[in-house]
Amino acid sequence: MQDPITVIAEIGVNHNGDIELAKECISAAAKSGANIVKFQTFISNKLVTKNAQKAGYQKIDSEVDESQLEMLEKFELSANDHYVLKDYAENLGLEFLSSAFDIESLEFLETLNPKRIKIPSGELNNYIFLREVGRLNKPTILSTGMSTIDEVCEAIKTLKENGLSKKNLTILQCNTQYPTPPKDVNLAAMQMMQHKFNVKVGLSDHTIGMAVAIAAASLGATLIEKHLTLNKQLPGPDHKASLEPQEFKDMVENIRIVEDALGTPNKIVSNSESKNRLIARKSIVALKDIKKGELFSEENLTVKRPGNGISPMNWQSLIGKKSNKDYFADELIDI
C-alpha cells in the first residue's frame, strides 16, 4: 500500500492581495483535510515585462485595460505577509508552501526553510531557475503544464545535473488552461511519466469539480493539487476554476475513500467478507435419501448453501465413491 496521498490546497492568488482573505483561505484548507496550503511568490517586475499581455482566462475576470504586470502587482505578497501566513498555516497544522517564479523569490523562500520546493509550469524551461533549484537538492515538485515529453526530459536532466536526487522529485501532470476541459487533462500522461522516469507523480488539477482529482488518486497519484477559493464569484483570474471550502472537503474525503479502496496487489479474503463465505458458498449435499454403501452419483448429489461441508470443487473425486452412512435429503455429505 502506498503512502497517503498528499493534498495541496492551492490558494495561489485567490487571496486577491488581502492578507485577511488569505488567512480565511488557510482556515478553510485546514478544515477541509488538506495537508499543505500553497501560495505564489513573485516580484512582478522580475516576472513579466511592462507590456506583457494577460492570458485569455485572466482577461475574463479582471480589468480589461490593465497589463499582466499591473494585475500581478495587486496580488504580490510582501516578505512580512509570507511570515504571517506561514505561522498561521503551521499553527493550524498545515505545511506552508509557495511557488517561486524568479530566482530572487526562490532565495527568499529558502529563508523560510520550506520542506519542499514547487516549480510552476511556466518555469519548466527556465534553465537558470532550474539550475538553482537543483543545487538545493530538497524535495521538489515539478508541474509540467504546456510542455512536451522532450521538454520534461530536459528539465529533469537540468535538475539532476545540478544536484537534485531523483528520489527527491515528484512530477505533476498539469494543464494550465483555467478551467481545463476534461478531454485535455490526459491522466494517461501521468502514468506514462511514472514509468518513464521512475519517480513519484501526481496531478495539478484545473478542471471544474472534483472528478478528475479523484480519478488521479485511483491511477497512482501521490500528490494532488487543487485551487481553493472562499467564493467562485470573487473577482480574480483563478476563482472560477477553484473549489469552494465544502467542495474541497468533499474532494479530500473522496480521495481518502479511494486510497482505502486501492488496497494491495494481493487477492485476499477481507476481514469484512470472511464471515460470508460459509453463508454464501455451497457444499455437496444429498439430493435425496442415500443408503450406506450406495454409490454417489450425479442423480443423488447436488450443491446447496451453506458452505461448511465438502466444497463443490471436489465433485469429481466424490462421484463413484460409496456412501459411508445413510444420508437424508439436504444433509451435508461428510465423507
Residues 123-152 pLDDT 10s: 999 999 999 999 999 999 999 999 999 999
Confidence of residue 53 (pLDDT cuts 50, 70, 90): confident
Helices 211-218, 187-197: axis angle to 10 degrees equals 30
Is residue 49 within 8 A of residue 69, CB to CB? The reply is yes
Of all residues in the chain, what percent carry a pLDDT higher than 70?
96
How far apart are alpha carbons 103 and 128 in whole angstroms? 8
Q: Which of 222, 237, 262 is the last residue of a domain?
A: 262
Residues 232 and 280 in one domain: no
Residues 111 and 174 in one domain: yes
Q: Kindly state the average pLDDT of the residues 241-261.
A: 97
Asked whether residue 292 is assigned to any structural domain, the reply reads: yes
Q: Kindly state the average pLDDT of the residues 67-72.
A: 86
Partner residues linked to 31 by β-bridges: none
Whether a cis peptide bond, with omega within 30° of 0, leads into 312 is no
Residues 180 and 252 in one domain: yes
pLDDT above 80: residue 60: no
- At 261 the pLDDT is 94
- At 30 the pLDDT is 98
Asked whether residue 191 is assigned to any structural domain, the reply reads: yes
Q: Of the candidates 8, 17, 5, 29, which has an alpha carbon nearest to the alpha carbon of residue 230?
A: 29
Q: Which of 262, 296, 329 is the last residue of a domain?
A: 262
Residues 70 and 124 in one domain: yes
How far apart are alpha carbons 250 and 264 in whole angstroms? 25
pLDDT above 90: residue 99: yes
Sign of CA dihedral 104, 109, 113, 116: negative
How far apart are alpha carbons 332 and 22 in whole angstroms? 70
Asked whether residue 276 is assigned to any structural domain, the reply reads: yes
- At 1 the pLDDT is 56
Residues 278 and 233 in one domain: no
Average pLDDT, the chain: 95
Asked whether residue 333 is assigned to any structural domain, the reply reads: no
Q: Residue 70 to residues 61, 75, 275: CA-CA distances in angstroms?
A: 14, 9, 66
- At 133 the pLDDT is 98
pLDDT above 90: residue 181: yes
pLDDT tens-place string over residues 34-47 = 999 999 999 998 88
Number of folded domains that form the chain: 2
Q: What are phi and psi of 188, to 5 degrees?
A: -60, -30
Residues 310 and 191 in one domain: no
Domain harbouring 298, CATH code = 3.90.1210.10
Residues 112 and 42 in one domain: yes
Q: Kindly state the average pLDDT of the residues 245-266.
A: 96
Confidence of residue 321 (pLDDT cuts 50, 70, 90): very high
Q: Both ends of the chain: CA-CA distance in Å?
A: 42
Q: Kindly state the average pLDDT of the residues 255-272.
A: 93
- At 264 the pLDDT is 87
Containing 158, the helix (H) or strand (E) segment is helix 149-161
Is residue 279 within 8 A of residue 305, CB to CB? The reply is yes
How far apart are alpha carbons 193 and 274 in whole angstroms? 38
Sign of CA dihedral 250, 253, 259, 261: negative
Q: Which residue has the cell 474532494?
A: 251
Q: Kindly state the average pLDDT of the residues 235-250.
A: 94
| Burial of 332 per CB tally in 10 Å (0-12, 13-18, 19+) | middle
Residues 114 and 82 in one domain: yes
- Residue 313: CB atoms within 10 Å: 8
Is residue 307 within 8 A of residue 321, CB to CB? The reply is no
Asked whether residue 323 is assigned to any structural domain, the reply reads: no
Q: Which residue has the cell 500581478?
A: 72
3-class secondary structure for 26-74? HHHHHHHCCCEEEEEECCHHHHCCCCCCCCHHHHHCCCCCCCHHHHHHH
- At 64 the pLDDT is 60
Residues 60 and 121 in one domain: yes
Q: Kindly state the average pLDDT of the residues 188-217.
A: 98
Asked whether residue 84 is assigned to any structural domain, the reply reads: yes
Residues 221 and 309 in one domain: no
Residues 59 and 140 in one domain: yes
Domain harbouring 223, CATH code = 3.20.20.70
Q: Which of 240, 262, 284 is the last residue of a domain?
A: 262
- At 62 the pLDDT is 57
pLDDT above 60: residue 10: yes
Q: Residue 236 to residues 70, 92, 150, 225: CA-CA distances in angstroms?
A: 13, 26, 33, 19
Q: In which domain, by residue range, is 288 found?
A: 271-318
Q: Kindly state the average pLDDT of the residues 49-62.
A: 66
DSSP code, position 9: E
Residues 217 and 281 in one domain: no
- At 226 the pLDDT is 98
Q: Which residue has the cell 469484512?
A: 272
* pTM metric for this prediction: 0.88
pLDDT above 80: residue 56: no
Asked whether residue 55 is assigned to any structural domain, the reply reads: yes
Asked whether residue 327 is assigned to any structural domain, the reply reads: no
- At 237 the pLDDT is 86
